[in-house]
Amino acid sequence: MSNLNSLSYFWPELILTGTVLVAIVADLFYRKEDSFKVAWWVLGGLTLTMAAIRMGGSAVTDLFMGTIALDPFAEFFKVLILLSTVLVILISFKTDELKNYSVGEYFSILAIMAFGLFLMASAIDILMVYLSIEIVSIMSFFLAGYLKKSQLSNEAALKYVLYGAFSSGIMLFGFSILFGLTGSTKFFEIRQALAGLENGANLALIISAVFILAGFGYKISAVPFHFWTPDVYEGSPTTITAYLSIAPKAAGFAMLIRFFNQVMGDGTAMINDSWSALGGLPWPQLMGVLAVATMSLGNLVAIQQNSVKRMLAYSSIAHAGYMMMGLPVMSNQGIYGIMMYLVMYLFMNLGAFFVVIYIQGKTGGESYEDFNGLGWTMPFIGVVMALFMFALTGLPPTAGFIGKFYLFAAVIEAGPQFYWLAFFGALNSVISLYYYVRVVKHMYLRGERSDDVSMPSSNLVTVLLVFLAVPSLVLGVYWEPVANWINQSLVLLSSGM
Amino acid sequence: MILDDYEVSNVIQIQINSWLIMIENYLPILIVFILAAGFVFVSLILSHFVGPRIDNKVKMMPYESGVDPVGETRIRFSIRFFLIALLFIIFDIEIVFLYPWAVVFKDFLTMGSFIFFEMVVFLFILAFGFVYVWKNGALEWE
Amino acid sequence: MDSLTNYLFVSASLFCLGLYGVITRRNAVAVLMGVELILNSANINFVAFARFSGMNMAGHVYALFVIVLAAAEAAVALAIIINIFNNFKTINVDDVSQLRQ
């Protein structure tokens, strides 16, 4: 579809762009103390964007001459991204770390990052993939280093920038080799050209696929491209850590699914030949090994942590590993499992981070000792945090169990060659119980019990935690609306229309 | 096709000739490079061997118009230099986008004035960045 | 003399030099220079492939975009390095290690 006709389908992104421009200008007119008011402009814009997504028809087409796909799959991820952005903006009102900073740019950069994530979820062209990854990365470098006076934040930003720029460069080199091999940059034309390549191109194909995987793996913090995650997650402001742990991961998985489904495979169940014979390497087995390595490393190192924030960082690596289990089985069930897990993961992980943010404001620290006795002094926080911890482990009847159930079901249904994947997944879930229950242990079995029981001092925090805790529990027993939504969204744009 | 000795030597001669023709285009560059490098090396080597060299403590001090050096040798580097260079790069890149657009402008003008307004929107969005920079005082004091 | 492999060879050597720079250098700005080398090697690849397969315009346009993105990324990275210098008084990436392991 040409550029002019595509604009009428592009309303959510256009509204988001308008929001960013309005926020930048509004920031110029507020003094430093009032800079939080920019958040209201951004929230209004995000609400309008959600309305535009809902009101847009369910067209399945490609926009802007084949660079962006508009399909229910992209819409699903856009809704997830908007939800996480709104929640993170709301919690940023109550965080302690941003107290003496002028936060106008913080909120506008969050909106730009949401725009970049929208593009990431709908990209079907090499340049659009690189462009959107760079938009998201550059904005997250900036946000990770937002606390200019804090040494930890600066160091996190430096490590993030050097690692992220390096990984993007490697991914671009892989893309350039793929462009050279196939003569085109759109995913569908690449797939058609790849089918006609002879055996001599195998080495170049393998090298380019490995480099591209390096770039995607950096975005979803898969092993062995995860080295930036712990330091960046620990040094950034905790609200940004919460945002980074869900939104770029979701968009990164959308991009991975599109790339491997549309370029390497043929858009349908790829368990047998068309996916595994690419370049002579057994790709399903390789992805399975990477998934197991990711979840194992995340779990094993999380056990040794003394800071809850760093533990949650490593646990998010492990959760990316669980989601990567759905990639080798690139059938509809695999993608369904990844999408279901992402929905549950949003609620559980954001909830856990929001509790950490609140405790950071109360006690000034984020280690396990700061949670001592919380179960008795603040029973609301105790119950909610225990719920999030059990949900992250994957115990029934919480939402985490449903997410893991669908993933394991997809893996087992794919055939006996993937049973070892499911085995390692279950083993790692059991291992993760240790460090999640450790938080509950500190909350209820340590510290003195005192009689002054208090609720969170701010209504906004209570409302947010209830909003996140209720689905974490209810979706564990009644997940049919989510299942229907995902069923409707499992429509990917396939071979060039 | 079997070539006898006379034809083989002919083919080799033609190949050497074509190679020489290609090299001939780059010969001036090689000469310039040799001259420049030669000038540098010859002057350095000559001054090292022919010139006098007496080391003296007074001669080795940094030059400060004849008086003794006062204060530190490092200057406080103002952040304004970096800001101006950065802003120049960013807006220069915006102009880089204008060049391909200008090349294809006339061909697309047959489809109406959409192409003009496309670029106006692009420049308008970047103008917001310019207003931000202006209002935040990054363009002052230099 | 004017064949595709020459350009690919140049870009591959640039990639390796950039890789060496990123891995080995301790100065943060030098690491950034290595990253720029890697991005430019990908650019040479794009342009060379575009030229030798019938003037496929996509490669040239993409090289333009990559130049722009590389400059924007370098701008943000340099700003972060300035912040690091103001806080730590050094830009040696080995010395900036307050976060545990």
Residue B73: predicted pLDDT = 60
B22 touches chain C (CB under 8 A): yes
Which comes out higher in pLDDT, residue A341 or B72? A341
Model pLDDT for residues A374-397, shown as the tens digit of each residue: 888 888 888 999 999 999 998 888
Q: Which residue of C has its CA nearest to B97?
A: C64
Contact C84 A231 (CB under 8 A): no
SS3 A125: strand
Residue A270: predicted pLDDT = 47
Q: B-C interface: how many C-beta pairs under 8 angstroms?
A: 24
Give partners of A (≥3 CB pairs < 8 A).
Answer: B, C
Residue B70: predicted pLDDT = 67
Contact C68 B79 (CB under 8 A): no
* Domain assignments of chain B as residue spans, ordered by start: 1-53, 79-135
Q: How far B52 CA sits from the closest chain C CA (Å)? A: 39
A231 touches chain C (CB under 8 A): yes
Contact B131 A4 (CB under 8 A): no
Q: How far C71 CA sits from the closest chain B CA (Å)? A: 7
CA dist A299 → A214, A283, A349 (Å): 21, 24, 15
Contact A157 C87 (CB under 8 A): no
Yes or no: say if A139 and A115 are a contact pair by the CB < 8 Å rule.
no
> CA A305 to CA B22: how far, in whole Å?
65
Model pLDDT for residues A85-111, shown as the tens digit of each residue: 999 999 998 888 888 888 889 999 999
| CA A382 to mean position of chain CA atoms | 26
Q: How many domains does chain A have?
A: 1
Q: What is the mean pLDDT of residues B56-65?
A: 71
Which comes out higher in pLDDT, residue A31 or C77? C77
Please state the ipTM of this predicted complex.
Answer: 0.96
Yes or no: say if A251 and A77 are a contact pair by the CB < 8 Å rule.
yes
Contact C71 B90 (CB under 8 A): yes
> Does A429 reside within a domain?
yes
CB-CB neighbours of C49 under 10 Å: 24
Lowest mean pLDDT among A41-55, B84-98, B108-122: B108-122
pLDDT > 90? residue C45: yes
How long, in residues, is chain A? 497
Q: How far A409 CA sits from the closest chain C CA (Å)? A: 37
CA dist A262 → A189, A203, A209 (Å): 10, 21, 14
> Does A173 reside within a domain?
no
CA dist A376 → A161, A360, B45 (Å): 42, 18, 83
Q: What is the mean pLDDT of residues C30-53?
A: 94
Q: A-C interface: how many C-beta pairs under 8 angstroms?
A: 116
The identity of residue A270, as a single letter, is M
Contacts of residue C59, defined as CB under 8 A and 6 or more positions apart, other chains included, come to A179, C46, C47, C48, C49, C50, C51
> CA A234 to CA A230: how far, in whole Å?
6
Yes or no: say if C22 and C31 are a contact pair by the CB < 8 Å rule.
yes
Q: Which residue of C has its CA nearest to A170?
A: C38
A2 touches chain B (CB under 8 A): no
> Does A371 reside within a domain?
yes
SS3 A102: coil
* Residues of chain B numbered 3-62 and touching chain A (CB < 8 Å): none
DSSP string, A10-74: -HHHHHHHHHHHHHHHHHHHS-GGGGGGHHHHHHHHHHHHHHHHHHS----EEETTTTEEESHHH
> CA A377 to CA A382: how far, in whole Å?
9
Q: Whole-number mean pLDDT of chain B?
A: 84
Verify cis geometry, omega within 30 degrees of 0, for the bond prior to A282. no
Q: Which residue of C has its CA nearest to B20?
A: C1
Domain of A430, in residue numbers: 285-491
CATH architecture label of C4-88: Orthogonal Bundle (1.10)
Q: How many CA atoms lie within 13 A of A3 on its CB side?
A: 7
Of chain C, the end-to-end C-alpha distance in Å amounts to: 51
Reported as a pLDDT band with limits 50, 70 and 90, residue C96 is: confident
Residue B13: predicted pLDDT = 84
Per run of 10 residues, the mean pLDDT along chain A (length 497 residues) is: 80 93 91 86 94 84 86 92 95 86 91 96 92 95 92 92 95 94 86 79 87 93 90 92 94 90 62 53 84 93 89 92 86 87 94 91 81 84 91 89 91 86 92 90 80 76 88 88 88 64
Contact B100 C61 (CB under 8 A): yes
pTM: 0.89
The tokens for A372 are 């001592």
* Domain assignments of chain C as residue spans, ordered by start: 4-88
The tokens for B140 are 């002052």
- Residues in B touching C61 (Cβ below 8 Å): 100
